[in-house]
Structure 1
Amino acid sequence: MNKLSKICSLAIILGFVGNFAISGFNIALAESVAAKLYLSPAVGTYIVGETFTVSIILNTGGKSVNALAAVINFPPDKLQVVSPSIGTSIVGLWAAQPSFDNKKGLLSFQGGVPDPGINTSRGVVSTVTFRAKSVGRASLNFTDASKILLNDGLGTDVLTDKGGATFDLILPPPKGPIVSSETHPSQDRWYPKSTVALNWINNFPVENYSYILDKEPIEEADSIPEGNLKNSIVYKDLKDGLHFFHIKAIRNGIWGDSSHFAIKIDAGPPAKFPITIIPSSRTTSRNPLISFLTTDELSGIDHYELKIVSRNKIISSATDADDDPFFIESNSPYFTELELGKYNVIVRAYDKAGNFQEVTQRLSVVSPLIKILGISLLPRWLMVVLGLFFSAGALYLAFLVWRWHGAIHLRHMAGALKDAAIAEKIKHLQEKRAGYLKSLIIFLVCALTIFSASHVTNAQTKSISPPIITTISEDISNEEIFYIAGKALVPNSEVLIYMESLNDGTTYSSTVQPDTKGDWFYSYNSFLNAGRYRVWAQLRAGQESSVPTSLYEVNVARTAIQFGVSRLSLETLYLIFMALLLMILSALTGFIIYHAYHGRKKHIGLMKELAEAEEAIKKGFLLLRRDLEAELAVLKKTKPRAQFSAEDLEKEKRLVKDFDWVNTFIEKEVRDIEKYVGN
C-alpha cells in the first residue's frame, strides 16, 4: 500500500512539473515570437469626398501562424467603409466574411490558414476602401479583440504589436474663387465667435457669384447669381458646429468650378464638473490630492488651469502677488503642499476654441486637534446641541448618584447602632428622607451664535472694452480675504478695481496689471468689515478708459469678533465652548465615579450590618417562639382542656395567635437576611 501511495504521489508531482514546464515553454515561446498587425499607409492626407485604400498587414515574427482575428475602430463621422477586399488576402479560409458597421465605426476580420500555416513578414490580410466624409483628423486602431494564433496546437496568442494609422482629411483645393476669413482664418481650428466674415478674390474678371452656406463639406452652389457683385459676406448668429461655404463664379455666361471653405464654431464652454479633493475638502493632510475631469462636445478639451487662493492669508506686497501667478496649467490629479488655513481651489477647463468653464471648491486644512474634536464630522450647531444634551444627561445622572450616595450614607450611619429604638428611628428616617434631602441646582449658561453667509450670485457680462470679471470670492466673511479676477482683452493695459461700502459710503480703489495672457487677479490687503459692498472694474490703456463693468454686490458676514486690532473668530469661540463642555463633562464624570464608588462601598457595609441585625432579630424571635411553646405546654398540663375557664381559653387563643405571628415574622427575617447577604 505504501509503495502504491509513493507511485501515485510521484505521478502527481511529475504531472505538475510537466504542466508547469509546458506552460513555461508556451510563455517563453510567446515572448520570443513578436507578431505584428499594422496598417499601410500609416499616415496620409486625403480630400473630403474622395476614396482611398488601406491595407492590413501581418508580420508573423518568423514563426508559423494558422489563425487571426482583426478588429479595427474608426471615426464614423469622418470615415465610411466602402468595401473590404479579400481578393489578395493571405487568409485561405474565412470563418466569416469581413464585416463592417459605419454607424459604430467597426471593421472586423476572422480567418485561418491551413496547415502548416503561414510565415511572412509582410502578408496582406485585406485591403479596405474608405471614403472621407468630413474634414479633420481620423485615427484607426486595432482593438484588444485582435489576435494572432501560433500554429503550435495550443492556439497561443503571439500578437504583441498593433500599429494604427492617422489620416488628415481636407477640403479640395479651390478651383474657383479663393476664399479667406478674418474671423475664422484657419479651416483646421475651432473658434468661439458665431459671427463669420468671409472674403474672396478671383484671378479673372467675373460677371457674378453664387454661394451657399450649409453643413455639407462638398456641395455645389446653385447657378443663380447673387445680384450685386461683391467679394465679401458676413453671417451672424451661426449655431455651433461645422459649416461649409461654397462659392463659384460666372464668366462669359459659363459657371466655373466651386471652392469650399470650412468654418468650425464652438461658442459654448466645456461641461460643468466637480472638483474632488482627497481625502476630503476639510482635512488634516497638508498634501491633498485635487482631481477634476470634464468633456467638451464639439472641439474637445485642450487643457486645464488651476489656482489655489488663500482665504485667510493677506498678500502684503506686489512682489508677493507677482510670485504667486494667477493660473498655472495643470493636469488631473494635482498634488500640492499647503499650510494650515482656508483655500479656494479654482479650476478652469479650456476647450480647443478657447472657451473655458470655471469651477471653485472650498478646501480647509485644519490641525489634528480640530479633527479630534469632531468639527469636520458634524455641523457646528449639531455639535453644540449634542454637547448640551450630553452635559444635561451627565448632570441629571450626577444628581441621581449624589442623592443615592446621600441616602446610603444616612442608612450606613444609622445602621451602626444596633438597639431596637434606634432601628425604629432609622426606619422613620428612611421613610421621611425624601422630605429632608436638599436640592442640587447647577445653572449652565452658554451663548451660541449662528452665522450665515449670504451667497452673491454674480452674472458675468462679456464686453469688448471693459475687463471681464470671471472670478469673485463668494460666501465671504470678515475673517476671509476678498479677491476678484478676470481677463483683459486689450494688451498693455491696467485694470482699476473699485469697491464701495454700502454701510458708510467709503470707496476703495486699486490697480492691477494683467499678465501676458490677459489674466488679472486682485486681493484686498486686509480683512473687510462685516457689511455690504459694491464692486466694479474699469480698464485703462494709456489715456483711454473703458466704461465700468456691471456692479457686483458682496455681502461680508460677521464670523469674527473684533477687539481693537485683535480678532476672535467664531471658530475659536466654538473651540473654547467645546473645550468648556469637555471640561464640564470630565468634571461630572469624575463626580459620578467618586459618589458611585463611595456609595457602593457604604452600601456593601450597610447590607452587612443589616444582615447582622436581622440575624439578631431572628434569634430573638426564635427565643420568643420557644417561650410561647413552653407557656402553651404548661397551660395544657395544668388542667384538662374541658376544665378551661373563659380566661384560660382567651389566653390560649392569644398564645396561638402570637405563636403564628412569630413564625411568619421569622420566615420573613430569613428571606431578608438572604437578600442582604446577596447584595
Structure 2
Amino acid sequence: YVVTDGSDSDPGSKNDGIIENIILEKQEDGEWYFHIKYQNKYGWGQVAHKKFLVDVTPPEDFILGVDNGGDDTNPTPKLKFSTKDKTSGISHYFVKIGEETIKVSPEEASEGYYRLSVLTPAEYFVNLAAVDMAGNTASSSVNFIVDPLKAPIITDIPKILNKKEELVIRGTSFYSRVTVKINISKAGEDPIEAIVTTDDEGNWSYFHKEKLEKGNYEVWAKIVDKRGAQSLDSTRHLVAVVSSSIICAYGWWIVILLLLIIVFLVLYIIYQRSRFKEEKTRIRKENDEVKNKLSRIFAALREEVDELIELADKKPGYSEPERKIKERLRESLDISEEFIAKEVADVDKEIKLKEKGGEK
C-alpha cells in the first residue's frame, strides 16, 4: 500500500506482509489517496484507490453582525457573516439563540446572511458556528435588542360586571390595521384569548359574547403587526364579575308586591277617612246637642234662681239684699255659660278646621 496525493498511484511489488489495519503518519491538510493491492498464489491483483481528506484547520475567522433594516422593532433581523474553509469546505452552520439551536445549510446562507424567525421583544445573545466537512469549527457572537411596539391603551372597561351582562372592552393604539390580542384571565384557569383589529385611527372594540362566571378577572392586551412585531402588555385591569342583585333576579315580583302594598295602603286610607268623617259627624251632632242642652239648662237655672230668691223672705218682689244676691248669681251663671259655650265653640271650630284640611 501507499499514500500519495495522486489519484492513480501504484504501491509497487513490495510485499508489506499480512495486515488488518494500519496507522498512517501525520499528513498535511489536503486531498490524499490510499492505494492498495493484494497478492495471492496467482500473483498481484488490481490496485484499489480510496480518496480521503486531511483537515485540521477550522474555517476562516469571521465577524457576526445584525441587520434590522434600520428598525429596532424588526422581529426578523438578518445575521450577516462571511467565512470559508479552503480545505474541505463548509458543511453547515449552528445558530444558537437563547436555549434554541438551529442547523443552517450553506445554501440558506449563500447570500451572506441568515434571517431569523420571528422574535419577541427582548435582548438576545446569538452565537453562530461554522462547521467544515472535517468537523472543525469557527464561531462568532453578537448581542442585539428587539424593541417592542407601543402598547395599546384600554380606555373603557367595567370594574364590576353582572354575570348576565356582556363584557365590552374599548381601547386605542398608535397603529392602524394591526392585530390586538386581548387576554381575560381568572386565577387558576387558562386565559381566554381574543383577537380584534384596529381601525384606520387605531381604535378598537371587543364584545365578549360568552357570559363570565362569578369571580375576579385580569384583562390586558398587546399589539401584533403584520411582520409579527409585538408590543409589551398593556396595563392590567381588574374586573369583578358578580351575581345578579335581588332586584335583577326578582324585579317583577318586587314590583307586583309594591303595587299590592300601595293598593292596600290606599284602601286603608280611604277606610280611615270614611271612619273619620263618620266620627266627625257624630261629634258635631253631639256638640250641637250639648249647646242646646246648655242653653236650656242655664235658662232654667236663671228662672229657678229668680224664684228661690223671691220666695226666700216669703214676700213678693225683691229686697235690696235679694237683688244683690240675684245679680251675683246671674253674673256667675253668665260667666259659667260663657266659659262652657266658648269650650263648645272651640270644639266646633276644631272640627271645621279638620274638615277643611281633609278637603285639601
Common fold: TM-score over 0.5: no
Q: Structure with the greater relative contact order (CA < 8 A, sep ≥ 6): 1 or 2?
A: 2
TM-score range, shorter chain: 0.3 to 0.5
Query: TM-score if structure 2 supplies the norm length?
Result: 0.41
Query: TM-score if structure 1 supplies the norm length?
Result: 0.24
Q: Which one has the largest radius of gyration?
A: 2
